[in-house]
Amino acid sequence: MGTFAVTGTASGMGAATRDVLVKAGHTVIGVDLRDADVIADLGTAQGRASAVAEVLERSGGTLDGAAAIAGVGPDMPDSAAVMSINYFGPVAVLDGLRPALARSGAGRAVVIASNSATTVPMIDDALVGHALAGDEDAARARAEEAAREVPAELAELAPPSIVAYASSKFALARWVRRTAVVPEWARQGVLLNAIAPGAVLTPLMTGSTGADADFDPDRFPTPMPLGIFGEPEDIAFWVHQFLKPEARFTTGAVLFVDGGTDAAMRPDAQPTAWQL
């Protein structure tokens, strides 16, 4: 059985992932702001460093897998914090844990992105650029600026940090694609993939949209081809698949687990032909 680090285990997808792994007989080191083995604020550099150090201590320096699931929704008023938590948090934690994952000989890492990266037309290129450049101060400043630039007619309808949320998830998916194939990850046998959930009934989604178990999927703002909302267990299932040793030939993937929303909105977006 393996040892896995999972962030965001206090609720939602993180809690569901922890439960799936524990039921499979694995040891899980949970990280969250509360009700976890490791208590840390992943929105700060100090909190990330502390989380990495404690996970390494608890694991003995070797991990079979890590799932970066902790995150906040677009309803959070502080756009700068959204950027720090949703992008810089998972990147720093996985970067810090990469040597421990390599030490296992078959390390697996999974990141939770979002279909908001492709279905919300409010991606801020400058914000994404600052994130991918690793400039957290610039990203935080731009996130606050971008929030103020949202037209008034849209600001009345959208959550306050929708630009930072969608852009952070877009940047995170790009980071996974770029990082998974570099030698420090790929040639060390550490596989890195992302899952892009859609409308999943978690505290994050209900807080951002007001949807609950009785909400009609056909009245949701984006298409719901299956006519149902997802549950945290639907995401945990795929996290578990990516974390298995048998998942040996998949890296740099972004898997949409959204009930068909992205396919309905952008049916021809994938595949994209390579141009010479």
User: In this structure, is residue 249 part of a structural domain?
Assistant: yes
The percent of residues in the chain predicted with pLDDT above 70, rounded, is 96
pTM for the whole structure: 0.94
Q: Residue 80 corresponds to which tokens in the numbers above?
A: 């700068």
The structural domain count of the chain equals: 1
Q: How confident is the model at residue 221 (pLDDT cuts 50, 70, 90)?
A: confident
Residue 214 confidence (pLDDT): 67
- Measured distance CA(86)–CA(7) in Å, rounded: 12
Of 87, 88, 165, 170, the catalytic one is 165
Other beta carbons within 10 angstroms of residue 171's beta carbon come to: 27
- Measured distance CA(13)–CA(21) in Å, rounded: 12
Residue 131 has pLDDT above 70, yes or no: yes
Section 252-260 average pLDDT = 98
Section 92-116 average pLDDT = 97
> In terms of residue numbers, what domain contains 92?
3-256
Which residues are bridge partners to 111 per DSSP? Answer: 68, 194
Q: How confident is the model at residue 153 (pLDDT cuts 50, 70, 90)?
A: confident
- Measured distance CA(265)–CA(268) in Å, rounded: 9
Side-chain-side CA neighbours of residue 176 (13 Å)? 28
Residue indicated by tokens 């390579």: 274
Identity at 88, one-letter amino acid code = F
- Measured distance CA(209)–CA(214) in Å, rounded: 13
Section 108-120 average pLDDT = 97
Q: How confident is the model at residue 262 (pLDDT cuts 50, 70, 90)?
A: very high
The answer to whether 87 is a known catalytic residue is: no
User: In this structure, is residue 271 part of a structural domain?
Assistant: no
The per-residue pLDDT for range 168-204, each reduced to its tens digit, is 999 999 999 999 999 999 999 999 999 999 999 987 7
CATH of the domain at 165: 3.40.50.720
User: In this structure, is residue 181 part of a structural domain?
Assistant: yes
Name the residue among 49, 48, 89 with its Cα closest to residue 69: 89
- Measured distance CA(66)–CA(87) in Å, rounded: 16
The per-residue pLDDT for range 25-57, each reduced to its tens digit, is 999 999 999 999 999 999 999 999 999 999 999
User: In this structure, is residue 274 part of a structural domain?
Assistant: no
CA distances from 272 to 21, 188, 269 (A): 35, 29, 6
Mean of the per-residue pLDDT values of the chain: 95
